[in-house]
Amino acid sequence: MIIVLKQNIDTKSREYQRLERHIRNSPNIELLVYDFQGTERLLTEVLLIGNTAALSIDEIRSFPGVDHVIRVSEVYRILGRHKDDTRPNNFTYNGVTFSQDNLNVFAGLCAVDSAESVEAMMKALQEHGQVCTRMGAYKPRTSPYSFQGNGKNCLPYVFELAGKYGIKVIAMEVTHESHVEEITEALEATGKPTGVMLQIGTRNTQNFELLKIVGRQLEFPVLLKRGFGITLDESLHAAEYLASEGNQKVIFGLRGMKTNIGDPHRNIVDFAHIPVVKRLTRMPVCIDPSHSVGSRSRSSDKILDIMHVTAQGVIAGANMILVDFHPDPSKALVDGPQALRLDELGPFLEDVRIVREAFEKRLALFEGLN
């Protein structure tokens, strides 16, 4: 059960105190309280776990501080969609809105290799009116003997260049809690010229300790990628680890599933799950066409597979695209074979625009019917 309190009613109020006393009369119920501080108002939700069947929803609704009550199903309690659930499916971070209803493109470097590459990338983004990017500083690699990313050393110039070129949000993978601290420090040291979306990669989808720590900080939104050896259901449960610790600014990322039935693609593209995630949860859905496809192969129609699968994501309602570019793919230190070139950024964005427009026509078609 989730109890949404009235605006600006917090846990110190008399209204809440009375409500809490009432609930604590029933045994075996745990209360988790979440505050969402907007610019003008505070929103507080109380998640009850345990033997809530003993409580009367009507009675709880009648308490003065209560706005409304949602009876949640067992799964995806916080991020899920439940009956009569009108909680929002969006959030705004550093001026950029993330929602199940819009689309943001994060084109950028899989791995930061040099300030020159970063600047070339960000300049190109600004020229095309983009305010988001991806920049990998910490790279988890299969072998300990492979390049592991430039780490915290590259953060200052990445953030400064982001500020210079008007980038508002950088998606950046973290694989350890210390990376969050390093990012926070580097942002402060450079005067917060940009924002960061923390990315949890497929190898860490069930690294629950990392999820808990990242979920406890409320500053950065989090992009959680689907785990490649587990079911969709298990990956959605992992997202709840973030939310149950307090951070509900969560985006769910599809990036292909590892199995040889996807050959010759690097992974089998799983973007058909976009409508599933949007049906089951309130999270915006991101796609990663670069890691799904893993090559620059193009079809007999001369269009890159990466662009075809991007189009497949967008036509079904994807809300975010994470895509690898590089000024010189042949020199990229990680995943060069799948990177697009900077001169392909314009056509890529135009392709996305064409397909998103078609998606909106589809929405309008079915809107009129239901």
**Residues from 110 through 169 that contact its own copies (CB under 8 A):** 140-145
Q: Of the candidates 309, 320, 332, 340, which one interacts with its own copies according to CB under 8 A?
A: 309
> Strands, DSSP E only, in the chain?
2-5, 29-37, 42-50, 66-70, 90-93, 96-99, 104-108, 132-134, 169-173, 195-200, 222-225, 250-254, 285-287, 320-324
Nearest-10 Cα torsion for 321, 198, 5, 14: -170
* Closer residue to its own copies (CB): 27 or 95: 27
Eight-class DSSP state of 41: -
User: Residue 184 to residues 9, 136, 217: CA-CA distances in angstroms?
Assistant: 30, 16, 11
Q: Of the candidates 173, 305, 324, 335, which one interacts with its own copies according to CB under 8 A?
A: 305
* Closer residue to its own copies (CB): 199 or 244: 244
**Contact track, its own copies, 259-288, x by CB under 8 A:** xxxxxxx--xxxxxxxxx-xx---------
* Closer residue to its own copies (CB): 221 or 227: 227
Residue list 201-230, contact with its own copies (CB under 8 A): 203-204, 206-210, 212, 227-230
Stretch that binds its own copies, among 10-18, 33-41, 291-299, 331-339 (CB under 8 A): 291-299
* Closer residue to its own copies (CB): 39 or 365: 365
If we measure between CA atoms, which residue out of 169, 175, 186 comes closest to residue 211? Answer: 175
Stretch that binds its own copies, among 114-122, 184-192, 255-263, 329-337 (CB under 8 A): 255-263
Minimum CB–partner distance for residue 266 and its own copies (Å): 11
Q: Of the candidates 23, 124, 180, 257, which one interacts with its own copies according to CB under 8 A?
A: 257
Residue in this structure with the two tokens 């009108």, named with its chain if needed: 86
Minimum CB–partner distance for residue 64 and its own copies (Å): 29
The gap from C-alpha 217 to its chain's centroid, in whole angstroms, comes to 15
**How deeply is 265 buried, as exposed, middle or buried, from its count of CB atoms within 10 A (0-12, 13-18, 19+)?**
middle
Stretch that binds its own copies, among 33-41, 120-128, 189-197, 231-239 (CB under 8 A): 231-239
Q: Of the candidates 110, 254, 316, 323, which one interacts with its own copies according to CB under 8 A?
A: 316
Q: Of the candidates 81, 82, 87, 296, which one interacts with its own copies according to CB under 8 A?
A: 81
- The answer for residues whose C-beta is within 8 angstroms of residue 359's C-beta and 6 or more apart is 314, 315, 316, 317
Residue list 21-80, contact with its own copies (CB under 8 A): 49, 75, 77
Minimum CB–partner distance for residue 199 and its own copies (Å): 15
Copy the structure tokens of residue 249. 């600014």
Nearest-10 Cα torsion for 302, 306, 312, 315: -90
* Closer residue to its own copies (CB): 96 or 268: 268
Which conformational region is residue 256 in: left (phi greater than 0), alpha (psi within -120 to 50 degrees), or beta? left
Strand duo 250-254 + 222-225: pairing: parallel
Strand duo 285-287 + 320-324: pairing: parallel
Q: CA–CA separation, 322 vs 274, rounded Å?
A: 15
**Contact track, its own copies, 345-364, x by CB under 8 A:** --x--xx--xx-xxx-xxx-
86 lies in the site for its own copies, by CB under 8 A: no
Minimum CB–partner distance for residue 25 and its own copies (Å): 22
